[in-house]
Structure 1
Amino acid sequence: MTSSLPLSGRDILITRSVEQSVSFAQYIEKQGGIAHAVPLLAFRSNRDRKEKVTMDHIFQYDWMIFTSKNAVDYFQQTLSHYSLSLSNLQAKVGAVGSKTASYLQSKGIKVDFCPQNFTAEDFAYEFVQRNMKPNKVLIPKGSLAGQSIQTIFHAHHICCDELIVYCTYTPENSLDELQHLLTSKKIDAITFTSSSAVRFFMKALQKRGLSIPETVYACIGPKTKATAESLGLVVQISPNIYTIEEMMKALVNYYQHT
Structure 2
Amino acid sequence: MPEWGPLHGEAVIFTGTPKSLEVFDLVRHYGGTPYSMPLIQVKEIEGPNDETKLKRCMDFDWLIFTSQSAVKAFHSKMVRFNMPYQHIPSKIAAVGTQTAAALEKIGFTVEFIPSIFSADVFVKQFKPTEDRKLRVLFLKGNLAGSIIREELPFQVEEWTVYETGAQPDSVTSIIDLLKKEGNSTVLFASPSAVRVFEEKAVPVIGWEGYTVGAIGHVTEKALLEAGAEVEVKPEIYTLKELVNALARRKEEIQ
Name the CA distance, whole Å, in 1 between partners of 2:48 and 2:158.
Answer: 11
> Which residue, 223, 230, 234 being the options, matches 1:228?
223
Partner of 1:23: 22
1:198 CA drift (Å): 1.2
Change (3 A) 1:96 1:134: farther
1:116 CA drift (Å): 2.1
1:180 CA drift (Å): 2.2
Contact 1:48-1:163 at 8 Å conserved across structures: no
Answer yes or no: is 1:163 the counterpart of 2:174.
no
Deviations along 1:106-158, one digit per CA (max 9) or x if unpaired, are 22211122222221122222113x444552111111112222111112xx2x1
Contact 1:95-1:114 at 8 Å conserved across structures: yes
Partner of 2:242: 247
Name the CA distance, whole Å, in 2 between partners of 1:64 and 1:173.
Answer: 35
Contact 1:21-1:37 at 8 Å conserved across structures: no
1:49 CA drift (Å): 7.7
> Which residue, 191, 194, 204 being the options, matches 1:195?
191
In structure 2, runs of 5+ residues without a counterpart are none
Q: What secondary structure, in the 3-state scheme, does the structure 1 residue paired with 2:209 have?
A: coil
Name the CA distance, whole Å, in 2 between partners of 1:251 and 1:175.
Answer: 22
Contact 1:78-1:165 at 8 Å conserved across structures: no
1:98 CA drift (Å): 1.7
1:69 CA drift (Å): 1.4
Partner of 2:82: 83
Query: When the two structures are superposed, what TM-score results if normalisation uses the length of structure 2?
Result: 0.89
Amino acid at match of 1:168: T
Partner of 2:100: 101
Name the CA distance, whole Å, in 2 between partners of 1:24 and 1:174.
Answer: 19
Contact 1:188-1:215 at 8 Å conserved across structures: yes
Partner of 1:125: 124
Q: What secondary structure, in the 3-state scheme, does the structure 2 residue paired with 1:73 have?
A: helix
Answer yes or no: is 1:44 the counterpart of 2:43.
yes
Amino acid at match of 1:14: F
Q: What secondary structure, in the 3-state scheme, does the structure 2 residue paired with 1:47 have?
A: coil
Partner of 1:216: 211
Contact 1:62-1:134 at 8 Å conserved across structures: no
Q: What secondary structure, in the 3-state scheme, does the structure 2 residue paired with 1:57 have?
A: helix
Amino acid at match of 1:196: S
Change (3 A) 1:189 1:78: same
1:3 CA drift (Å): 4.4
Partner of 1:70: 69
Amino acid at match of 2:7: L
Name the CA distance, whole Å, in 2 between partners of 1:87 and 1:200.
Answer: 39
Name the CA distance, whole Å, in 2 between partners of 1:99 and 1:131.
Answer: 25
Amino acid at match of 2:9: G
Q: What secondary structure, in the 3-state scheme, does the structure 2 residue paired with 1:29 have?
A: helix
Deviations along 1:132-187, one digit per CA (max 9) or x if unpaired, are 4552111111112222111112xx2x111111111112233223322322333335
Change (3 A) 1:50 1:202: farther
Q: What secondary structure, in the 3-state scheme, does the structure 1 residue paired with 2:21 have?
A: helix
Contact 1:217-1:234 at 8 Å conserved across structures: yes
Name the CA distance, whole Å, in 2 between partners of 1:46 and 1:71.
Answer: 10
Please show how residues 131-170 of structure 1 align to structure 2 within 5 Å: 131-132=129-130, 133=132, 135-153=134-152, 156=153, 158-170=154-166
Change (3 A) 1:213 1:87: farther
Partner of 1:183: 179
CA RMSD of aligned residues (A): 2.3
Query: When the two structures are superposed, what TM-score results if normalisation uses the length of structure 1?
Result: 0.87
Q: What secondary structure, in the 3-state scheme, does the structure 2 residue paired with 1:214 have?
A: coil
Name the CA distance, whole Å, in 2 between partners of 1:56 and 1:110.
Answer: 19
Contact 2:43-2:164 at 8 Å conserved across structures: yes
Amino acid at match of 1:201: F
